[in-house]
Structure 1
Amino acid sequence: MEEKWLTWAKQIQSIAQEGLTYTQDNYDYERYIELRQLSAEIMETYTEYDMKTISELFTNETGYQTPKVDVRAAVFREGKLLFVKEKADGKWSLPGGWGDVGFTPGEVAVKEVQEESGYIVEARRLLAVLDHKKHPHPPSPYHIYKVMIECELVGGDAAESIETSDCGFFAQDELPPLSTGRITESQVGMLYNLHNNVTLPPVFD
């Protein structure tokens, strides 16, 4: 579902980053810098990101480029799913964020739920591993894998956080405005289906 221009920009960026990592030739190094600049210009032309932001995104990592991992927790209570309101855009998402070094995916899910909603949960089941570009998210400069983990509510109370201003449980037919860079309506439907059919295997891609 990803636009061709975005796929090409990411591929150019990936080639440039690999080249900058492994080349020992000064001439090639300059060419890879130009390739990275070209990919940034494509991103600036077709997205809301400015060149400074894009350049920072494209130059803050070194070494062989790999997908980033976004871990999201699916917490159900009485048939409703937990959402948090993101301060960044004023819309709603599942608790979660980038995977942290030193934590397993389940530990990240548990930590993010408590930090963003105040609730205490235990990770129970892998629901899905999704490729961001295969789903109707807005364009992103990153190639992202989304890991969805079902968690059981065991305690805690609703609370705000640095990144979120509210939280609540919503039924599938009463969803709040979604932060589509983080979660989509079709993905929410998938999570409800997996939750209601525990014998189904995890979804991938």
Structure 2
Amino acid sequence: MREELRVAAYAVCVREGHLLLARWVSPEGDRKWTLPGGGMEHGEDPYDTVVREAAEETGYTVDPTVLLGIDTKRRHHPRRLGTRLDFQALRIVYEARITGGDLRPETDGSTDLAAWHPLEEIPTLERVDLVDAALRLWRERPENGHLKPPAPH
């Protein structure tokens, strides 16, 4: 089984009860809302990653103010010729404030739209699981930056 690790940094930008999101377009064409952010380039600092990615995806300049924590997700995917991929996403989540720029969609990237959404409407959106994890980090602010698994129902 092939292993792959993707490290990325994301911004939680909340202003006047609204969350800034970018709409991610999957390789298959599905669209889901996500946080502004994305993959680190080799040798890049995560702080610089979130600043760069937020600008690319939203048009805004952001100032990461607090490291909220780290979320990780692991998935297994089938690959060609019957092989499998063990994929792990390591997602570094910052709280950030907007310091400049104008809202606009990304061109020729992995997102096609950026918008502010009322916090109370987030549960109704088609979104990636990172949005929920990041909002939990933002609301709960765990001292160690690690979310406890949700209690079983």
The answer, yes or no, to whether TM exceeds 0.5 is: yes
**2:68 counterpart SS class:** strand
- The answer to whether structure 1 residue 129 and structure 2 residue 70 are counterparts is yes
- Aligned-pair identity in percent equals 24
Q: Which has the higher helix share?
A: 1
List structure 1 segments (4+ residues) > 3 angstroms apart after TM superposition.
Answer: 138-141
Matching residue within 87, 97, 103 for 2:44 = 103
Q: Structure 2 CA distance, aligned partners of 1:79 and 1:192?
A: 13
**2:135 counterpart SS class:** helix
Aligned length: 132
Q: Structure 1 CA distance, aligned partners of 2:11 and 2:47?
A: 9
- The answer to whether structure 1 residue 191 and structure 2 residue 133 are counterparts is no
Shift of 1:146: 1.2
Match of 1:113 in 2: 54
Q: What is the alpha-carbon root mean square deviation over aligned residues?
A: 2.3
Shift of 1:188: 4.1
Shift of 1:192: 3.7
Match of 1:146 in 2: 91
**1:86 counterpart SS class:** strand
Shift of 1:172: 2.5
**2:13 counterpart SS class:** strand
Give the number of the structure with larger relative contact order, counting CA–CA contacts within 8 Å between residues 6 or more apart: 2
Q: Structure 1 CA distance, aligned partners of 2:9 and 2:112?
A: 20
Q: Structure 2 CA distance, aligned partners of 1:147 and 1:189?
A: 13
Q: CA 1:139 to 1:157, structure 2 compared with 1: closer, same or farther past 3 Å?
A: farther
TM-score with structure 1 setting the length: 0.57
CA contact (8 A) 1:93 1:179 kept: yes
Show structure 1 runs of 5+ residues with no match.
Answer: 1-12, 14-57, 59-64
**2:128 counterpart SS class:** coil
Show structure 2 runs of 5+ residues with no match.
Answer: 78-85, 148-153
Shift of 1:139: 4.9
The one-letter code sitting in structure 2 at the alignment partner of 1:80 is H
